[in-house]
Amino acid sequence: MRIAMIGSGYVGLVSGACLADFGHEVVCIDKDPEKIAALNEGRMPIYEPGLDALVAENVRQKRLAFSTDLKPAVAGAQAVFIAVGTPSRRGDGFADLSYVYAAARAIAEALTGYAVVVTKSTVPVGTGDEVERILREARPDLDVGVASNPEFLREGAAIGDFKRPDRIVIGAEDARAAAVMQEVYRPLYLNQAPILFTGRRTAELTKYAANAFLATKITFINEIADLCEQVGANVQEVARGIGLDNRIGSKFLHAGPGYGGSCFPKDTLALVKTAQDYGTPVRIVETVVAVNDQRKRAMARKVIAACGGSVRGKRVALLGLTFKPNTDDMRDAPSLSIIAGLQDAGARIVAYDPEGMEQARPLLQGVDYAEDAYACAEGADALVIVTEWNAFRALDLARLKAMMAAPVLVDLRNVYAPDEARRHGLRHVGVGALASRD
Ligand SMILES: NC(=O)c1ccc[n+]([C@@H]2O[C@H](COP(=O)([O-])OP(=O)(O)OC[C@H]3O[C@@H](n4cnc5c(N)ncnc54)[C@H](O)[C@@H]3O)[C@@H](O)[C@H]2O)c1
């Protein structure tokens, strides 16, 4: 099949490369000429494990190409995916759909024969209807289908998630569009990946419901972690104790500094707004949003408390800046709020992240960057693990203790066992358990 992918960010690029790998002929379009130039030179604009090799192989096989020129890619395509950003709109938090609608207008002008226009971007209920209206208004003559195919991949594991998904959700209003989508995903269908065909609005809402549920699960265990700290219980054991129940499941029960990233914050907010607009508020999700917002800042207070109540003039070292490991994505990362809180309290910040420092620099002021974890810890009054990169899982704790000004390890991801840290002379302050004593 010939496929055009409009938007070559995390989702568009990974989806385009994987669809090409299935054997389709894919052109990934982006309006950012630098991004396309980089891709055409074989440089990846994002860090995603395995992506460079996948892209190189499919470019070599001539199944994958990159361009800023939408028209020739869309003309003659059987499926045109919209994978542009849908960030939170400034002011009201609703999803900003201007990029989606601009893409739809450009697609309308470029289509030549029957095609299915597919929203892969996360879009509020009813966006597919509006995309269809835009297409029909611009080109009343057009023979076109409009489908919703939300994406569930996770950054850091995106290729595996796309190629071996838990499920594929396709929202289509007619059999012809559904048949084209079935053809797109046929290689996965043969692998028995469950494909769910639903109405378009159902597919759109399914994506938000999934993200809101996961955000709720994280926020739930974070609140239980706070309670554990007060009552002398251990949240990791509680999480295991409940997670072994199949009805609950063990995933997304790791207490930490609050969720961040490019999806959960904006998608929970957009769902809250949609539900309010329809007069059926989702109170649980409203609370999740509020609790999570407060939590990120509270993590700065946790560090301050671990430093004896003040960080003024102290050197605080942060390990990890990205919102999770194996990505360079800094969007809504908890580190941003934590650093702001610590700087407001007078701390000097030094940070290290294996992949995220380039993306972090424009977002942070007054931060020194270190070359590795040990250089970061040198002379620090506290070492804070913010993101659980593998590189931080087996640090030489005795070496850290010897080089730090004060032996305080604030482990916001519970990477280290408190006893182990204590054995090496570090005071361990984790999440959801009593802090180890000096
Ligand atoms: N990042 C994720 O992990 C993830 C997972 C699932 C779903 N999503 C959803 O997928 C969508 C895209 O997310 P992303 O993280 O890939 O965003 P992104 O910001 O990384 O990429 C969007 C790209 O679209 C391009 N673009 C915007 N308007 C365009 C136009 N008219 N023509 C051509 N290119 C255009 C931008 O230049 C940018 O490169 C969002 O709706 C997001 O919620 C993201």
pLDDT digits (tens, 9 = 90+) for 62-100: 999 999 999 999 999 999 999 999 999 988 889 999 999
Strand segments, DSSP code E, in 50-113 are 64-67, 79-82
pLDDT digits (tens, 9 = 90+) for 296-317: 999 999 999 999 999 999 999 9
Q: Relative to the CA of 99, which ligand 1 atom is closest?
A: 28
Determine whether the shortest distance from the Cβ of 102 to ligand 1 is under 6 A.
Answer: yes
Residue 262 Cα, ligand 1 centroid: separation in angstroms?
A: 10
CA distance 435 to 415: 14
Residue 62 Cα, ligand 1 centroid: separation in angstroms?
A: 24
Residue 349 Cα, ligand 1 centroid: separation in angstroms?
A: 31
The tokens describing 334, both together, are 């908890």
Ranges 4-13, 88-97, 99-108, 361-370: which has the least confidence:
88-97
Q: 188: pLDDT confidence band, cut at 50, 70 and 90?
A: confident
Active-site residue set: 263
pTM of the model: 0.96
pLDDT digits (tens, 9 = 90+) for 386-412: 999 999 999 999 999 999 999 999 999
Residue 189: is its pLDDT beyond 90?
A: no
Listed residue (11, 6, 1, 267) closest to 117, CA to CA: 6
Q: 437: pLDDT confidence band, cut at 50, 70 and 90?
A: low
Contact call for residues 293 and 221 (beta carbons, < 8 A): no
Tell me the average pLDDT across 196-203.
98
Q: 435: pLDDT confidence band, cut at 50, 70 and 90?
A: low
- To which H or E segment does residue 367 belong? strand 367-369
Q: Relative to the CA of 102, which ligand 1 atom is closest?
A: 31
Contact call for residues 211 and 268 (beta carbons, < 8 A): yes
Whole-number pLDDT of residue 91: 83
Whole-number pLDDT of residue 190: 75
Residue 200: is its pLDDT beyond 60?
A: yes
DSSP-H helix ranges across 75-199: 98-110, 127-138, 158-163, 175-184, 186-190
CA distance 19 to 79: 11
Determine whether the shortest distance from the Cβ of 268 to ligand 1 is under 6 A.
Answer: no
Determine whether the shortest distance from the Cβ of 165 to ligand 1 is under 6 A.
Answer: no
Which protein residue's CA is at the shortest distance from atom 20 of ligand 1? 9
Whole-number pLDDT of residue 436: 57
Among 5, 6, 10, which residue has the most ligand 1 atoms within 8 Å of its CB, making it the best to mutate? 10
Q: Which residues of 9-33 are buried (b: 16+ CB within 10 A; e: fewer)?
A: bbbbbbbbbbbbbbebbbbbbbbee
Task: State what percent of residues in the chain have pLDDT above 70.
Answer: 99
- Residue 77 to residues 5, 11, 26, 81, 111, Cα–Cα distance (Å): 10, 19, 9, 10, 8
